[in-house]
Amino acid sequence: MAEQGAADLGNNNNNKPEASEGTIIKVTVKTPKDKEEIAIAEDASVTQFKEEISKRFKAKQDQLVLIFAGKILKDGDSLSQHGIKDGLTVHLVIKTAHKAADGGSTSASSSTSTQAGSSSASSPAANPAPTTVPAGSGQAPTQTPNIMSGFGDLASLAGLGMGSANFMELQQQMQRQLMSNPEMLSQIMENPLVQNMMSNPDLMRQMIMANPQMQQLMERNPEISHMLNNPELMRQTMELARNPAMMQEMMRNQDRALSNLESIPGGYNALRRMYTDIQEPMFSAAREQFGNNPFSALGGNSDSGAQPSRTENREPLPNPWGPPNSSNPSESGGGTTGSTSTSGTTNPSVSNPLGVNPASLGNGMFNSPGMQSLLQQISENPQLMQNMLSAPYMRSMMQSLAQNPELASQVMMNNPLFAGNPQLQEQFRSQLPIFLQQMQNPEALSVMTNPRAMQALMQIQQGLQTLQTEAPGLMPSLMTGGIPGVPTGGAVPAENPASSPSSAATNPAQQQLMQQMLQMFAGGGGSGGGNGTSQTPEVRFQTQLDQLNAMGFINREANLQALIATGGDINAAIERLLGSQPS
Amino acid sequence: MKGVEFILASWRSTFAETVGQLRRWFQLEKTPCCTMAQNNSSFPVKLFIYDLSRGMARQLSPVMLGRQLDGIWHTGVVVHGKEFFFGGAGINRCLPCGTILGQPNSVVDLGYTEVNEDLFMEYLDSLAESEYRCDRYNMFEHNCNTFSNDVVQFLTGKKIPSYITDLPSEILSTPFGQAIRPLLDSMAVNPGGNDITGQR
């Protein structure tokens, strides 16, 4: 057949009995890999069309599947029946062996990998509902890296560079890296910090609940909140996160278990009870077992969880996450819901059930080389910070921080910048509520996420330091020079990436720099020159306090707060005080 | 601090996927994700559209780009009970709404297709070896929306809404877009899911 002579109308009556009209149309036939233009009579049948195609694409006719406008063209149809006209595109799929007659098809679209693909495709085809096991097993490997994607960041971010500005994409890239390096995963899991985090189901639950999407889902499906409350499930999930080899099995067990749950009317109540019974022993057991394998603790404990809950052990257990150089005080008193006492240990409180001392979290996290490189990365690229900040969960994180100032303070306290300066810590702690409020203030946020604003702030600080060195007499209260900190605008302002190289050496100047920074932020950009000495606020502001007292502001606490917020600026402090007083 | 945030984020995504599975088991199918009626020869095709910027683009685009972009659109094609999309790791599939992007911003109903699942998987496999290998991903020219467009045309003959496919050119037509083009070229959107050919 002279299909090459497409434009030659005279050839159209070779093998086309119906081609009395003689209209040849050019139809584009598109395969996934290829595209060809085929000339065919307008009123040809699909069979004839396939003949042409099989010649052109060198495939057997029964391997060809033609699709047009969502319809599969059957052999008995005609092209015009489907509305195939000149210039339109018809899609072609050349089927592989298991449907066609011969196995070794030479068509462009089939290959050995297609075999593998279609074998997994055929099982979903047999199962009209969305696949459970294959999809579950397929998804399972990605769940491990999902859990650990954050830690993948630490280890591999340094090498990754700015692979992605979107934090979610960054996560996914981390997942992939993690997937390709199972050793990394086991290393990460061995990190006691990780184990502690994972062993705190309530903390996990809190974090999960903080996710608005989860909240939505939980509203719609109360069963899910029961699931989250199920310690068995949590433990299983954590275990299988540790052991990718177990993953599939656990997922399948989980499937079955959960579908059983559904059918047991009283099952949820039982689970909830069990959770409450297990909760306290589990927490204390987990803390006891720090350093050992917390999962064995959990495993062992869950066996005993079936027994009636033992008498509540009100005595606070040694805090395994205390700062490395602090001993573990075994002070008694205070229930499991008691408030925290010393700054070294953090007893379990209502919002912090496991008494996880975030200070040590910060310790572990910040000291890792990965984190250092992360901070460096961030400093080099404010865009990342910006995107990180704008990620949706950032907001919820900051909100929960604001609600839990103690957590935030612990974390910040542990920052190496502050470690050597207790006065600064105190000051920061007092400023913290204000600071957290500022964090919530979208304007402050936008300032922080604006790289140009950040740079401007840097310049201001640089200028201040230059001024101080040039004219020390002019501003005696300014600190000695150091590397200007780059305000990162992260949830913790003390994450000072530019100073990360020197973060190991706690430079008092840096701390005071941070102090200044905080004052600036808290005061909404008040005088940058503020008081930078390392005395306590009361001492520093003694003069101002006296003045305020003389003016009639007798509320010393409020005065102090106002002074701290405004960095010692009396007039601004007065305005603040007046603004807050009922007038 | 950041570590906690990482953990939080990763747990979010983990549990989002787990919860997605659970919803299926509990047959709590009240979202657009799972209500797929199927009869023998006619399978509904939907386009799930996600805004990668979660609303930030709508707010910030006039400032940053000089023109209004309502979103940075990522699309996935949902057919045969699964969601398919093209990302940095190649063609992926997952359960509908099963990526960390969660629920789509909007769902476009594209009608029905007669292409059954076997045929569709073969088609996708071919694509995965040719046009839509993982290394073919380009954020501007050959991205998830390109893939969705091709797949939807294959399935139904229709195209996806033009505001999605016009997005790269809109961005590139701004000076800011041109400036960040080298950066974006090196990026890839990869919301997760499973690689369709089992390769990475």
The band of B14, judged by pLDDT with boundaries at 50, 70 and 90, is: low
Per-residue pLDDT reduced to its tens digit, A369-390 = 444 444 455 455 555 555 555 5
The DSSP bridge pattern shows strands A64-68 and B90-94 to be unpaired
Structural domain boundaries, residue B105? 43-193
Query: What pLDDT score was predicted for residue A418?
Result: 44
Nearest CA to CA, how far is A474 from chain B (Å)?
A: 38
Per-residue pLDDT reduced to its tens digit, A247-299 = 666 666 666 665 665 556 665 666 556 555 545 454 444 444 333 343 433 43
Task: Please count the structural domains in chain B.
Answer: 1
Name every chain B residue with its beta carbon within 8 A of the beta carbon of A122: 118
Taking 50 as the threshold, does the pLDDT of residue A492 lie above it?
A: no
The band of A480, judged by pLDDT with boundaries at 50, 70 and 90, is: very low
Which single residue is written with the structure tokens 């003390």?
A494
More confident residue, A375 or B49: B49
Query: What pLDDT score was predicted for residue A58?
Result: 83
For B53, the token pair is: 């910027």
Residue B52 domain-assigned (yes or no): yes
Name every chain B residue with its beta carbon within 8 A of the beta carbon of A358: 1, 4
Tell me how far apart the alpha carbons of residues A125 and A102 are, in angstroms, rounded to a whole number.
22
Nearest CA to CA, how far is A245 from chain B (Å)?
A: 17
Is A397's CB within 8 Å of B8's CB? yes
Provide the residue count of chain A.
Answer: 583
The DSSP bridge pattern shows strands A89-94 and A64-68 to be antiparallel
Catalytic residue ranges of B = 74, 144
| Chain mean pLDDT for chain A | 56
Helices A369-380 and A133-160 pack at an angle, to 10 degrees, of 70
For A542, the token pair is: 């003694």
Is B5's CB within 8 Å of A491's CB? yes
More confident residue, B66 or B109: B109
Taking 60 as the threshold, does the pLDDT of residue B155 lie above it?
A: yes
Please give the helix or strand (H or E) that residue A275 lies within, else none: helix A267-288
Taking 80 as the threshold, does the pLDDT of residue B84 lie above it?
A: yes
Structure-derived torsion over alpha carbons of residues A559, A563, A566, A567, reported in degrees to the nearest 10: 180
Taking 50 as the threshold, does the pLDDT of residue A507 lie above it?
A: no
Helix (H, G, I), strand (E, B) or coil at A58: coil
Percent of chain A exceeding pLDDT 70 equals 23
Which residues sit opposite B92 in a β-bridge? B85, B195
Tell me how far apart the alpha carbons of residues A21 and A40 are, in angstroms, rounded to a whole number.
12
The answer to whether B57 touches B70, Cβ cutoff 8 Å, is yes
User: Between A117, A149, A166, which is nearest B125 by CB?
Assistant: A117
Query: What pLDDT score was predicted for residue A234?
Result: 65
Which single residue is written with the structure tokens 């069309």?
A49
Per-residue pLDDT reduced to its tens digit, B156-193 = 888 888 888 888 888 888 888 788 877 777 766 666 66
User: Between B82, B156, B200, which is nearest A130 by CB?
Assistant: B82
Is B197's CB within 8 Å of A113's CB? yes
Residue B23 domain-assigned (yes or no): no
Taking 70 as the threshold, does the pLDDT of residue B11 lie above it?
A: no
Q: What is the mean pLDDT of residues B49-59?
A: 84
Helix (H, G, I), strand (E, B) or coil at B108: strand
The DSSP bridge pattern shows strands A89-94 and A24-30 to be parallel
The answer to whether B100 touches B191, Cβ cutoff 8 Å, is yes
Region(s) of chain A under CATH 1.10.8.10: 536-582
Q: Looking at the domain covering A536-582, what would its CATH class be?
A: mainly alpha
Phi, psi of A90 (to 5 degrees): -115, 140
The band of A67, judged by pLDDT with boundaries at 50, 70 and 90, is: confident
Residue B27 domain-assigned (yes or no): no
More confident residue, A150 or A414: A414
User: Minimal Cα distance from A372: which residue of B?
Assistant: B2
User: Minimal Cα distance from B89: which residue of A?
Assistant: A176
User: Minimal Cα distance from B38: which residue of A?
Assistant: A128
Residue B22 domain-assigned (yes or no): no
Q: Which residues contact A144 (CB under 8 A, 6 or more apart)?
A: A178, A179, A185, A240, A241, A244, A247
Percent of chain A exceeding pLDDT 90 equals 0
Q: Which of A499-508, A513-522, B156-165 has the highest mean pLDDT?
A: B156-165
Q: What is the CATH number of the domain that holds B108?
A: 3.90.1720.30
Name every chain A residue with its beta carbon within 8 A of the beta carbon of B10: 146-150, 171
Name every chain A residue with its beta carbon within 8 A of the beta carbon of B5: 150, 393-394, 397, 491
Q: What is the mean pLDDT of residues B99-115?
A: 85
Taking 60 as the threshold, does the pLDDT of residue A108 lie above it?
A: no
Structure-derived torsion over alpha carbons of residues A423, A425, A428, A429, reported in degrees to the nearest 10: -110
Taking 50 as the threshold, does the pLDDT of residue B140 lie above it?
A: yes
Query: What pLDDT score was predicted for residue A396?
Result: 58
Residue B146 domain-assigned (yes or no): yes
Answer yes or no: pTM beyond 0.90.
no
CATH number of the structural domain A24-94: 3.10.20.90
Residue B34 domain-assigned (yes or no): no
List C-alpha distances in Å: A441 to A34, A225, A311, A321: 55, 31, 46, 32
Please give the helix or strand (H or E) that residue A75 lies within, else none: none
Residue B72 domain-assigned (yes or no): yes
Q: Report the 10 Å Cβ neighbour count for A180.
A: 11
Is A491's CB within 8 Å of B1's CB? yes
Taking 80 as the threshold, does the pLDDT of residue B75 lie above it?
A: yes
Residue B26 domain-assigned (yes or no): no
Region(s) of chain A under CATH 3.10.20.90: 24-94
Which range, of A186-195, A261-270, A523-532, B97-106, averages the lowest pLDDT? A523-532
Taking 80 as the threshold, does the pLDDT of residue B118 lie above it?
A: yes
More confident residue, B40 or A572: A572
Per-residue pLDDT reduced to its tens digit, A467-479 = 877 776 554 444 3
Does ipTM top 0.90? no
Q: What is the mean pLDDT of residues A56-80?
A: 85
The band of A203, judged by pLDDT with boundaries at 50, 70 and 90, is: low
Name every chain A residue with its beta carbon within 8 A of the beta carbon of B9: 149-150, 167, 171, 391, 393
Is B30's CB within 8 Å of A220's CB? yes
